[in-house]
Chain A
């Protein structure tokens, strides 16, 4: 019914574009999607990996004033800037940051009930390892953002070219034939996973690029301001003042300023409940000191908040306020949809599943290409080993490494240190070590490495659940009955993931065709049987 009337020349150019963009970007895209899927639950992963965070979220309204007071009168006396982030539902300890008199940056977590600093397990966990991996691949010097951005553009090009290549989008929409030859069912799975969530597969790379737009077009972005950075800051709600050098002559009343911000936001937008997510004090002790109040991620809206207010401490005057028009509001919705910090359990699980579906799309596309090339004999056997090694390591390898990361986290003691690395560094080293080994394993073992790594993933998942029980006492029965959902959810996903990995390993073992050795008496019969087998694997197009 719906047939795109495009010329063969166009379709063939789209085909090679899709193929080459896939060859170039699919391994990296799988890593980005896998880490992105994990990042949906990054706070929960934090709680699993850093058991000090397994406290119930505070129920009372959080007051910023006491935290600022305590720090400024205590260890942060003389600090020039200080930022406090409120605890949240998924992240029950608050964050503090200040730059002290010596110019050093100090940061940590605090318990909102006692206002005491909490020593948390030294681990990068989800928010500081998996999440940055997603948007930068941990490639330093800002190069990582460009690599990920290139992959995101490749993905957009892949999606558009894929639509043009696919001939029978409607007729084949629900088609998945696992009983057929591997290449056919792989292609079916690739098409299915791409089509059912097509708008979303386009939305995420697009919004990711938008979020980093000022990195990708650094000189273009403030051309419209004619280089007037101060005005750009003010339009964004940041006062951006310089120190005057004179001392502050007024009392700092953080809570009054926060209250002022909240009442302004509430009257501007009465339908939504507003909350100050972070409060910053700049130029502390100076006459020009000001407070920035930000609402970043409202819990009951998709849009990230555009609410930023800068208030002078000395005069109480509003120095800068953000005023979002339609374009900024659209951007806020789109970036909020990507960041997924809003409070919706249903969407969070669906996002996780969607991310995994995208990962399946990428992996199945890569597999299909690999199988086609190997079948056609276009790649020589040595290169097949390399290509397969890269594919296996990038797909099952990174999954296995992620599981190993969780396992080692539950095994290392709090004060672990070795080779000049702290505990957090050791955990990350194990991740990379295991990951590199999976590439080597895949190159050495060839086709069987898929199943073998799947078995390993199954084992590692169960080991992680077991070690969580042994090291923290929070086993699944207890966490479910006590409704500690972040930990229960993690254990359940680990168990389900292990089950899926074991099922895959069994299926992969089934697929190994039993090769009949050609007997000397019947060489022709073998040739005929081989010819039939090859004919059976042709896709029915």
Chain B
């Protein structure tokens, strides 16, 4: 019973933080940046794996990343579920950033 109450208090406190506007803005700016950086690396690597020339994949990443960043900022500010957005942005950023170097095709002297 005591533990259950403690858990509730923690999640209540957490949701006060998360619902805060300043938090959302920071999430959008910094979480969004991390997510976009991951996206940039990840999408370029993915397209290269799919057969595109590497310089082409690189330019596709440039063309799309800032649209993604903008959308993510809007999402972070507008969402009714900031916890979920936090998870997606931070988690997604980590996954994409950490996996990209391993997914990059080795130099083939193309």
Do any beta carbons of A and B sit within 8 angstroms of each other in the complex?
Answer: yes
Number of interface residues of B (CB under 8 A): 41
Q: How far is the CB of A62 from chain B (nearest CB, A)?
A: 30
Are B53's CB and A223's CB within 8 A? no
Q: Would B59 and A331 count as touching, CB distance under 8 A? A: yes
Question: What does DSSP make chain B's interface, helix, strand, loop or mixed?
Answer: helix
Residues of A within 8 A of B40 (CB): 213, 217, 220-221
Instruction: State the CA gap A226–B66 with chains docked (Å).
Output: 23
Chain A residues whose CB sits within 8 angstroms of the CB of B70 once the complex forms: 153, 156-157, 160
A206 at the interface (CB under 8 A from B): yes
CB distance from A29 to the nearest CB of B (A): 15
Q: Are B63 and A220 in contact (CB under 8 A)?
A: no
A327 / chain B contacts, CB cutoff of 8 Å: 52, 56-57, 59-60, 63
Across the interface, A232 reaches (CB within 8 A) one of B55, B62, B65, B105, namely B55
Residue in B36, B54, B62 whose beta carbon sits within 8 Å of that of A225 in the complex: B54
Interface presence of B41 (CB below 8 A): yes
- List of B residues within 8 angstroms of A153 by Cβ: 66, 69-70, 73
Chain A residues near B97 (CB-CB < 8 A): 220
Q: Is there a chain A Cβ closer than 8 Å to B101's Cβ?
A: yes
Residue of chain B at shortest CB distance from A10: B78
Q: How far does the Cβ of A328 sit from chain B's closest Cβ, in whole Å?
A: 5
Closest to B58 in A: A224
Within 8 A of A (CB), among B22-54: 25, 36-38, 40-41, 44-45, 48, 52-54
Q: Please, how many angstroms separate the alpha-carbon atoms of A127 and B55 in the complex?
A: 30
In contact, A330 and B66 (Cβ under 8 angstroms) = no
Q: Is A337 an interface residue (CB 8 A)?
A: no
List chain A residues, Cβ under 8 A from B106. 226
Closest CB in chain B relative to A8 CB, distance in Å = 12
The distance from the CB of A251 to the nearest CB of chain B, in whole angstroms, is 31
Report the stretch among A11-19, A288-296, A453-461 that lies at the interface: A11-19
Query: Which chain B residues lie closer than 8 Å to A13 at the CB level?
Result: 77-78
Q: Decide yes or no whether B109 CB sits under 8 A from chain A.
A: yes
Which residues on A are within 8 Å of B, measured CB to CB? 9-10, 13-14, 16-17, 20, 153, 156-157, 160-161, 206, 209-210, 213, 217, 219-226, 228, 231-232, 235-236, 325-328, 330-331, 334
Given contacts A14-B74, A226-B107, A325-B59, 9 further A-B contacts (CB under 8 A): A17-B25, A153-B66, A220-B40, A225-B104, A226-B105, A232-B54, A235-B55, A236-B55, A331-B62
